Structure 1
Amino acid sequence: MNTTTQSPLQQISESLSFAGRQLRFQHASSCCQCDMTFSIYLPPQAEESGARLPVLYWLSGLTCTDENFVQKSGFQRYAAQHGVIVVAPDTSPRGEGVPDDPDGSWDIGLGAGFYVNATQEPWRTHYHMYDYVSAELPEIIAEHFPVDTARQGIFGHSMGGHGALVIGLRNPDCFRSISAFAPIVNPANCPWGQKALGYYLGEAGRAWNDYDALALLEEHQPQCMIKIDQGGADSFLEAQLHPERLVQLCQNKRYPLEYHLYPGYDHSYFFIASFIGSHFQFHLEQLNQSA
């Protein structure tokens, strides 16, 4: 790791986990025009001289920060086992001057950036999570940490699953593998997505399609297989998530999709922790094939 006194990264914390290091950093973001925070896990293999390791970017859901996944999923066991660096950015810009929903709603504003580049006031100055995750953050990670940029994958949960699908599909040269837990696959046609896209992007139209996985897949074939896990007892399944729409589209177009519906599992991190290991195996199979 190269974080000298001239580095723009300010370390917030460090903890030992499965012989690797769980770190947290803050830095000034040019995309979001504020300080941003991310967590990164460096497995023990990162200490080996000359090591360049695959890296996975995890995107979290509504109301989360970068710490939810780090503290609740238990992913460090698998990252250490397989020698994978894992980066978890925050879910929105934050800080003085960054607007929040004036009504205090939890599904817009702070903690709810939806991984888009906002074009509407008052969001347009700071809410550029798409550019941050797809370009700025990977550049920072490649500069300071021993990642193999030819083996980068992206995954996430709920709103973060939406982000992983959209960012992965739109940036196949950067992200060579994509997976998600309980993603919002068609935000242009569900209440969460319609509210967020309306606030951030304005009226429905082409801009919405750019951030809708179903709309993207209607026009472009994915460059890699996609993996989606969904809990059958998820209380948001019917109203917000609609994975059956994506499954049907991929079947009709013969796109590669690995979809699992797990009866009894809900929307929580108990579900994620139960199956996170299989996502590491999936990503490594995809990334090793594409390298």
Structure 2
Amino acid sequence: MCFEILSRARAFGGTQLVCRHASRETGTAMRFAAFVPPQAEGGCKVPIVWFLSGLTCTEENFTVKAGAQRIAAELGLMLVAPDTSPRGQGVPDDPEGAYDFGLGAGFYVDATETPWARHYRMKSYVEAELPALVARELPADMDRQGITGHSMGGHGALTIALRAPERFRAVSAFAPIVSPMNCPWGEKALAGYLGPDRVSWRSYDACALIEDGARLPEILVDQGTADTFLTRELKPELLEEACRKAGIALTLRRQEGYDHSYFFIATFIEDHLRWHAARLG
């Protein structure tokens, strides 16, 4: 096996794993969590849903807080949640210690600027290296993949799917950063990792990708109306307009009174997993 199992726990008839492996892309040890449903026991391959987490998170947040294992076990879905950035000795962090750049804030890009370019290669890690590892070592049916995520991870899910629509049968997001080019979190991250040329940012912006011709059949997004980041950072109306112009079927549900927390995710994760299961077959 090409990864080390750090923990294993029985859950709803399936198995929750936390794993670590040496990453070629990041040059560090990387951790990820994988829930293997009971339908996969005996080697039967099952559909996989990727969950990308947001700023400050690790693979643990979704695994522990979302309560997703019960419904994933019922539906026969494998859940895989990677970390949000490289970590370890020699990996640079925001020099001011800010939460929205550096460790825990990889933004699912391949950095090109010094000193970030050496380790911050989360695009290639999530798009290529980790899926290859999972396909080789776990009973995942890679012909039936879905992707979702929260906040920065919602940005990651949307952009990864828009760049490779043939790979994903289902796409959703919780409170995603829909246009990093047009919000403080995204402008800081993209400028820091990629440099000042905004043209190079467009492949990491869901709205820009859609404007440039990328298409998905449909997208599900949940957004809380009491989210303190709603108007400054998230701006779901930009995705709404981009999808309207492109003819993409966007289901944008504005959830009254819900905030940005995992209480919001835990409330609606069942809806998202059923959305994915219906499309993954």
What TM-score bracket applies, with the shorter chain setting the length?
Answer: over 0.9
TM-score, with length taken from structure 2: 0.98
Rate the CA distance shift 1:249–1:157 in 2: closer, same or farther, 3 A: same
Q: Is it true that 1:208 corresponds to 2:201 in the alignment? A: yes
* Alpha-carbon shift at residue 205 of structure 1 (Å): 2.1
Cα distance in 2 for partners of 1:186, 1:111 equals 19
Question: Does residue 1:265 correspond to 2:273, yes or no?
Answer: no
1:70 and 1:266 map into 2 onto residues whose CA distance is 19
Q: CA RMSD in A?
A: 1.0
Equivalence map 1:1-291=2 (5 Å):
7-47=1-41, 49-288=42-281
Task: Provide the rounded CA distance (Å) in 2 between the counterparts of 1:287 and 1:43.
Answer: 15
Offset of 1:50 from its aligned partner?
4.7
Q: TM-score, normalised by structure 1?
A: 0.95
Letter in 2 for 1:182: A
Equivalent-residue separation in structure 2 for 1:67 and 1:152 (angstroms)? 21
Amino acid at match of 2:11: S
Distance 1:154 1:179 in 2: 7
What is the SS of the residue equivalent to 1:114? coil
C-alpha deviation, 1:162, in angstroms: 0.2
Task: Supply the AA of the counterpart residue of 2:12.
Answer: F
Instruction: Report the alpha carbon displacement of residue 221 of structure 1 after superposing the two structures with TM.
Output: 4.2
SS of the aligned residue for 1:184 comes to: coil
Tell me the CA shift for residue 17 of structure 1.
Answer: 1.0
Contact kept, 8 Å, 1:11 with 1:24, in 2: the verdict is yes
SS state at 1:257 partner? strand
| SS class of match (1:69) | helix
Instruction: Measure how far apart 1:8 and its partner are.
Output: 2.2
The residue matched to 1:124 in structure 2 has which SS? Answer: helix
Amino acid at match of 2:29: D
2-side partners of 1:133 and 1:140: how far apart?
Answer: 11
CA shift for structure 1 position 219: 1.7
Q: Is the 8 A contact 1:178 1:224 kept in 2?
A: no
Structure 1, gaps ≥5 residues long: 1-6
| Partner SS state of residue 167, structure 1 | helix
Give CA-to-partner distance per residue, 1:9-56, whole Å, 9 cap, x none: 011011111111110110000111111000000111110x35110001
**Is contact 1:73–1:273 with CA below 8 Å preserved after alignment?**
yes
Q: Residue by residue, what CA displacement relative to the aligned partner does 1:140-196 show, whole Å, maximum 9, x if unpaired?
A: 000001111110111000000000000111012222221100000000010000000
Q: CA–CA distance in 1 between the matches of 2:220 and 2:146?
A: 12
Which residues of structure 2 form unaligned runs of 5+?
none
Whether the 8 Å CA contact 1:221–1:255 is kept in 2: the answer is: no
SS in 2 for 1:99: coil
Shift of 1:286: 2.1
Deviation >3 Å, runs of 4+: none
